[in-house]
A and B are shown apart, each in its own frame.
Chain A
Amino acid sequence: MSELDSLYQEVILDHSKRPRNLRKLEGANCQACGYNPLCGDKVQVYLTVRDGRVVDASFEGAGCAISTASASIMTETVKGKTVAEAEALFDGFHDLVTGKAHPGRVDLGKLEVFSGVCDYPTRVKCATLVWHTLRSALEGDRGEVTTE
């Protein structure tokens, strides 16, 4: 498999073309806006959190294939997870896309398809913007989170 194929894997292409959970979430009790000044991408993350558990998650925004797929797969993945589990997933995901992966420490499941990102340092922020935004939403921060 060429390096390019390892970045634009089928799963990523599929989620970028048909993003899941791309909608405003009615009744969300956590939300945050993320902004990547490098490319101008903006993403809005909506969460419904009950008893320390993410019951539902969605996002709005348009970006590159990597950022859209990342948002799509993230919202799928964090549904049903506790806040602590979601935070741990972000740590594991961050390590994965920056090439600092510690195998087995966190079970990343489907998120593993982003392993090719670490070969493209300029694209790391595309993959992590939505996760930074998730963290901001979970922490109840006001204002906009940026990748810078």
Chain B
Amino acid sequence: MQATTHLRHTDAGSALDVEAVRRDFPILKKKVRGKPLVYLDNAATTQKPQQMLDALTRFYVDTCANIHRGLHQLSEHATREYEEAREKVRRFLNAPEAREIIFVRGATEAVNLVAHSWGRGTLQPGDEVLITGMEHHANIVPWQVLCQEKGAKLRVAPISDAGELLLEEFEKRLGPRTRLVAVAHVSNALGTVNPVRRIVEMAHRQKTPVFVDGAQAAPHTRIDVQALDCDFYAFSGHKLYGPTGVGVLYGKAGLLERMPPYQCGGDMIRSVTFEETIFNTIPYKFEAGTPNIAGAIGLGAAIDYVEGIGLERIAAHEHDLLAYATRRLAEIPGLRIIGTAPEKAAVISFVLDGIHAHDIGTILDREGIAVRAGHHCAQPVMARFGVPATTRASFAFYNTRQEVDALVAGIHKVQEVFR
């Protein structure tokens, strides 16, 4: 299997060559229901470049062995590649140390890890966890369950009609009992980019650590956990052009070292007797059992791919698509965009007068256009805006203005059916 390689622009100022990058994604050649695939469900998962797929195959063909165990050469190679992937993630997040990078199944597992390990050891009755009104269920439910268990209180900072966090309301809820702030960097349902740096400043003034759900941010913008100064940062590999089943939790070493293990098993121990177990150091303390080795290596390859294009160039292209799509959709009579914050990632949620999101999704699918229709695992956001569901188009750097045009034509077709 040969990687398809395309010349990359190397100067960061030049525009993205979309046709060239599209050739790296085999699935984009696919036809769906006889029509060219228009994939606009990137906030759910992104498609995979051949370079990443090749890395997965290479691992299974050339390097397959367990890590941190065998003395044989294959195991050494597998271990090296796995740890190289950790280093790639460290650079990607600009984390100070590779040991602060923990491989998990995805952002959801990262939230659960922190809720269990940090939360159970820290929260006392009467304490509070503060989240925002735009969180994904994965950044609500683990904290809700934790608070119920501990007799603590889950507090929610409201959002505006545009879908922006009301910072002054957030600050009001940040009290002496707030033990943790958990916030999305980018809202999956609205696209809003939260001012994480300011949120962290406010929280740190009273020594409250901040967990950032970066699942929707990592694919769209350069992340710098040192500049953000957040205490935890999580993202999923599959939303960053990597494989499913792998993700990352970054945590400040000082915090991670004080936290007990989340799961127990092999690799996370230093020594075991029937009387006592001494746990391994971080990050291994949090990586019980054989991890998703191929997945981590694939994620490393996806990061290489994204860095090869350049996050600044990706952000510029996606911003152009967002502006174009917002303008084109706003022209459609009866269409209302939900989430109109000035700072947005390339996600557009919308509703159509008198037409349910599921009917829109089905008819667009007939046109080969893949969007998400539903509550986007953010039912409180739907309730906030008084809609049962929205249709969401979410863009990646391989999307084009022509695909936005196809979406607009598809929506006209929906309106024709329901005329």
Contacts and interface: CB of A to CB of B under 8 A. Distances in A.
A3 B34 CA distance: 12
Interface residues of A, number: 20
Nearest to A7: B362
Contacts of A7: 362
A39 interface: yes
B366 A41 contact: no
Interface in A90-148: 120, 122-123, 126
Contacts of A32: none
B362 A39 contact: no
B379 A13 contact: no
Contacts of B388: 39-41, 62-63
A40 B418 contact: no
Contacts of A62: 388
A123 B366 CA distance: 13
Given A13-B418, A39-B375, A40-B389, A4 B359 contact: no
B375 A64 contact: no
Contacts of B366: 2-4
Given A13-B417, A39-B375, A65 B359 contact: yes
Nearest to A126: B358
Contacts of B374: 38-40
B363 to A, nearest CB: 7
B382 interface: yes
A57 interface: no
B356 A40 contact: no
Nearest to B374: A39
Nearest to A8: B417
A71 interface: no
Contact of B358 (A3, A13, A17, A39): A39
B363 A64 contact: no
Interface string B349-392: 00000111111001100100000011100010010000011000
B375 A120 contact: no
A123 to B, nearest CB: 6
Nearest to B361: A122
Interface string B149-180: 00000000000000000000000000000000
B71 to A, nearest CB: 49
Interface in A33-89: 38-41, 62-66
Contacts of A2: 366
Contact of A65 (B356, B373, B382, B389): B356
A65 B418 contact: yes
A40 B388 CA distance: 6
A83 B418 CA distance: 34
A62 to B, nearest CB: 7
Contact of B375 (A17, A40, A65, A126): A40
B389 A123 contact: no
A39 B361 CA distance: 12
A40 B363 contact: no
Contacts of B389: 39-40
A66 B358 CA distance: 9
Contacts of A123: 358, 362
A4 B362 CA distance: 9
Nearest to B33: A3
A4 B417 contact: yes
Given A8-B417, A39-B389, A66 B375 contact: no
A55 to B, nearest CB: 31
A4 B359 CA distance: 11
A2 B374 CA distance: 25
Contacts of B379: 40
Contacts of A126: 358
Q: Which 3 A-B pairs have the closest CB atoms?
A: A64-B356, A64-B358, A65-B359
19 contacts: A2-B366, A4-B363, A4-B417, A13-B418, A17-B418, A39-B356, A39-B357, A39-B373, A39-B375, A39-B388, A39-B389, A62-B388, A64-B358, A64-B359, A65-B355, A65-B356, A65-B418, A66-B359, A122-B362
Interface of A: 2-4, 7-8, 13, 17, 38-41, 62-66, 120, 122-123, 126
Given A4-B363, A63-B388, 16 more contacts: A2-B366, A4-B366, A4-B417, A8-B359, A8-B417, A17-B418, A39-B388, A40-B374, A40-B375, A40-B389, A41-B388, A64-B358, A65-B418, A66-B358, A122-B362, A126-B358
